[in-house]
Amino acid sequence: MVLIISVTKRKQSYCFPNDTVSDVTEKIVQWLIPLTTDHPSIENLIIHTGANDLAKKQSEILKKDFSHLLGTLGNLKMNVLISGPIPKAACGDENYSRLLMINRWLIKECSSKSVNFIDNHKILQEPKRRTSYKKCLHFGCED
């Protein structure tokens, strides 16, 4: 999970590589909401999460966790973006199908909650970007 917080022209990134969507929600409640009260100048929040949850193969629980996260984000007075899970270079048919289903669901759910969604799945379908992506090691995935 990665959080990127923008305060006017300054940006801060926080990385919690083993966190799940429910861990992210907990961090937002315990840490970020109080921080925004003390620092109302925070303008943007980008959250990249979900990859660790996909490995558990529990799509309905993941949807519930994302719904809870999106509800929590509604309490923030800033521009929020959810960055969708990124497919592993060689994730297999079942995992790819699960990723595609979650991604489609997130597009609709984020839209209904007025949260911006970054569709990494669509971005990585472009041949040039897919080739670049496969050259790097991502979340322990090998080509």
Q: So where are the chain's domains? A: 2-134
Question: What separation in angstroms does the CA of 110 have from each of 46, 56, 132?
Answer: 13, 22, 28
Looking at 8-22, 34-48, 122-136, which range is the least confident one?
122-136
Task: Please state, as a whole number, how many other Cβ atoms lie within 10 Å of the Cβ of residue 87.
Answer: 23
What is the rounded average pLDDT for all residues in the chain? 78
Mean predicted confidence (pLDDT) in 27-43: 82
Nearest to 139 by CA among 94, 62, 87, 66: 87
Q: What is the share, in percent, of the chain residues with pLDDT greater than 70?
A: 75
Q: pLDDT at position 45, please? A: 86
86 band by pLDDT with thresholds 50, 70 and 90:
confident
Strands (E), the chain: 2-7, 10-15, 42-48, 79-83, 116-118
φ and ψ at residue 19, rounded to 5 degrees: -75, 150
3 state DSSP class of 87: coil
pLDDT for 15 beyond 80:
yes
Q: 2-134, what's its fold?
A: Rossmann fold (3.40.50)
Q: pLDDT at position 126, please? A: 62
- What does DSSP assign to residue 32? I
Mean predicted confidence (pLDDT) in 114-140: 62
134 band by pLDDT with thresholds 50, 70 and 90:
very low
Tell which wins on pLDDT, 14 or 133: 14
Q: pLDDT at position 32, please? A: 83
Task: Please state, as a whole number, how many other Cβ atoms lie within 10 Å of the Cβ of residue 78.
Answer: 16
pLDDT for 143 beyond 60:
no
